[in-house]
Amino acid sequence: NAHNLAVASSSSSASDAFVSVALSQSLDAQLEMQRQELDCVLRLQARIHHNFIIFKTQNERLRSALREQRKRQSAILLKCMESKAMHLIRQKEEDLARATKKTMELEASLRKAEMESHSWQNLAKAKEAMIMDLNNTLEQARESLVWVSNAPEDAESLFRDQQEGEMKQKSNNNNKMACKHCNARSSCVVFLPCRHLCSCKSCETFLEACPVCNSIKEASIKVFWV
């Protein structure tokens, strides 16, 4: 019996040892599996983090490239707009300069036309006044002829008086018609605006003032006697 108990006890110990070893190996296998799973998870997390860093870096590079591209495009667009604006400004300045020059030319032409018109008006008035004076002189001469023809004198007295009058008139006319500058040639030029018949054609070219009243000569008219 004792021998049987010893054998049974020995068998029980061996069985317990086997169970313990098997349990230990099972635990080691589970621990190794968990360790491998943990390593796999850590490697996966590391790969994900690495990919995230790469993605973030690429994203930053892409953003930077887009910013630089927008800057370049904005600079090109701004330069183009500035060039067009400067071209338009220069064109408007040239148009304004041409318009200003044209306006000045028109104003100068208008002033010249006004001066010429004023001069022609003065000349026309002077000619009208001279014509009126000549008409008055002619009318007076006609009245004198009528008065002489109607005077109650005989033919001899009338002829004698007429000759004397003609001689006096001729003498007076010669004195009046003589050039007031040279007293040699007949006056044939009327000075304006004073309207004095006072110069011959030769003297008129260098006379700047009327030899009768010393007024400044603005114009002159040549008279043709018939």
161 near 191, Cβ under 8 Å? no
Q: What pLDDT shows up at residue 3?
A: 46
- pLDDT tens string 72-101: 998 898 888 888 889 899 999 999 999 889
The C-alpha angle with vertex 121 and arms to 120 and 127, in degrees rounded to 5, equals: 85
The answer, yes or no, to whether residue 225 has pLDDT greater than 70, is no
Q: In whole angstroms, give the CA distance from residue 216 to residue 100.
A: 38
* Residue 150 scores a pLDDT above 60: no
By the 8 A CB rule, do 194 and 212 touch? yes
